[in-house]
Chain A
Amino acid sequence: MSKTLRLQIILGGCVVVAAVLIFLWKPTVLIYGVQRAGLYAAIALPMALILGVVHIVNLAHGELMMVAAYITYYLSRSLGVDPFVAMLITAPVMFGVGILIYKLTISHAVKGPELNQLILTFGVAMVLSQLVNLLTTSQTRKISLDYVTASATIGETSFGTYNFLFVGLAAAVLIGLQLFLKRTRLGQAATAVGQNPNGAEIIGIDVQRTYTIVVAIAAGLMGIIGTFFLTKFSIFPAVGGAYTMKSFCLVAMAGIGNLPMIVVSSLILAVAESSIQAIPGGSGWAPLVFFALIILVIMTRSFRRSS
Chain B
Amino acid sequence: MLKIDSISCSYGRLGVIHDLSMEVGAESVGLFGPNGAGKTTLVNAIFGMVPVKSGTITLDGQDITGKPTHEIVRSGVALVPQARELFPFMTVRENLMVAAEQVPHARERSSETLEEVVSIFPILGERSRQLAVTLSGGQQRMLAVGRSLMARPRVLILDEPSLGLQPSIVHELFSILGEMKKEISILVAEQNVRESLRSVDRGYVLENGRIVIAGSASELAHDPEVERSYLGL
Contacts and interface: CB of A to CB of B under 8 A. Distances in A.
A280 B205 CA distance: 82
Given A185-B101, A188-B101, A196-B87, A206 B147 contact: no
B86 interface: yes
Contact of B85 (A191, A202, A207): A202
Contacts of A201: 49, 69-70
B79 interface: yes
Interface string B60-99: 0000000011100110000101010111111000100011
A205 B70 contact: yes
B73 A203 contact: yes
Interface residues of B, number: 26
Interface in B4-19: none
A199 B83 CA distance: 9
B103 interface: yes
A196 B70 contact: no
Contacts of B220: none
A192 interface: yes
A260 to B, nearest CB: 16
Given A201-B69, A204-B151, A196 B88 contact: yes
B98 A188 contact: yes
Interface string B165-192: 0000000000000000000000000000
A198 interface: yes
Interface string A20-63: 00000000000000000000000000000000000000000000
Contacts of A205: 70, 102
Given A198-B81, A203-B73, A189 B98 contact: yes
A283 interface: no
A195 B70 CA distance: 17
Nearest to A198: B85
B86 to A, nearest CB: 6
B90 A206 contact: no
A188 B93 CA distance: 13
A205 B83 CA distance: 18
Interface majority SS on A: helix, strand, loop or mixed?
Answer: helix
A206 B86 contact: no
A264 B139 CA distance: 37
A206 B68 contact: yes
Contacts of A207: 70
Contacts of A196: 85-88
A185 B106 CA distance: 14
Contact of A191 (B70, B90, B102, B151): B90
Interface in B22-61: 47, 49
Interface in A168-219: 185, 188-189, 191-192, 195-196, 198-207
Contacts of B70: 201, 204-207
Contacts of B101: 185, 188-189
18 contacts: A185-B101, A191-B90, A192-B90, A196-B85, A196-B86, A198-B85, A199-B85, A201-B70, A202-B73, A202-B79, A202-B81, A203-B98, A204-B69, A204-B74, A204-B102, A205-B102, A206-B68, A207-B70
Interface of A: 185, 188-189, 191-192, 195-196, 198-207
Interface of B: 47, 49, 68-70, 73-74, 79, 81, 83, 85-90, 94, 98-99, 101-103, 147-148, 150-151
Given A188-B101, A196-B88, 14 more contacts: A185-B101, A189-B98, A189-B101, A196-B87, A198-B85, A200-B87, A202-B73, A203-B73, A203-B99, A203-B102, A203-B150, A204-B99, A204-B102, A205-B102
- List the 8 shortest-distance A-B pairs measured between CB atoms, nearest first: A204-B73, A199-B85, A204-B102, A203-B99, A195-B87, A206-B70, A204-B70, A201-B69
